[in-house]
Amino acid sequence: MKIIGVIDKYPLLRKGMVFFIQNQFQEATILESTTTEKFLEMYPNHAPDLIILGISQNNSAFHNMAYIKLIKTKWKLTSLVVYDELPEPDMVLHYLNAGIKGYVSKRNAMTELTQCLDNVMKGERYVSKGIF
């Protein structure tokens, strides 16, 4: 059974992502939180197979990178997918270099998210079409 974490400060987006994942991966256990720090506090003994991190344009690039590094430090084997409001190719490269396995724009179709999660769950990298 897979453990999938969803981190997004916006409740509607987070709940929508949880609903989507429940439909795609019925056997998965889903853990959710508003922030990376709260996720670590709420689930200290869980090692997610995958974490989906919602990036907000309200955060600085420094903070977004800090969240990615915090997750990768705590769970080295956890695959990390970032979904972002406004993709910036330079930042996507930084995220990839920091260890994320997948990147999807919040503006993409649901099929793109499905493709990303399927690829990442197989151990492959995935970046939304049209980013580069």
60-87 pLDDT tens trace: 777 889 999 999 999 999 999 999 988 8
**How many domains does the chain contain in total?**
1
Q: Is 106 a domain residue?
A: yes
Examine residue 31 and state whether it is found in any structural domain, yes or no.
yes
Residue 113 belongs to a domain: yes
Question: Which CATH number fits the domain that encloses residue 34?
Answer: 3.40.50.2300
- Which residue is it, tokens 């959710």? 32
Considering only residues 107 and 1, tell me which one the structure prediction assigns the higher pLDDT.
107
Could you tell me which of 66, 4, 3, 78 has the C-alpha nearest to residue 37? 66
What's the pTM value of the predicted model, to 2 decimals? 0.93
Q: Is residue 26 part of a domain?
A: yes
| Mean of pLDDT values over 48-65 | 86
Whether 64 is in a domain gets the answer no
Residue range of the domain that includes 80: 18-53+70-84+94-119
Q: Half-sphere exposure of 5 toward its Cβ, with a 13 Å CA cutoff?
A: 28
Side chain identity at residue 119, one-letter code: N
Q: Rounded mean pLDDT of 104-130?
A: 93
Model confidence at 57: pLDDT above 80:
no
Question: Is residue 2 domain-resident?
Answer: no
Phi, psi of 129 (to 5 degrees): -65, 145
Residue with tokens 């689930």: 43
Q: Evaluate whether residue 89 is within a structural domain.
A: no
pLDDT at 97 > cutoff 80: yes
Alpha carbon distance 119, 29 (integer Å): 19
Residue 125, domain member (yes or no): no
Is residue 131 within 8 A of residue 103, CB to CB? The reply is: yes
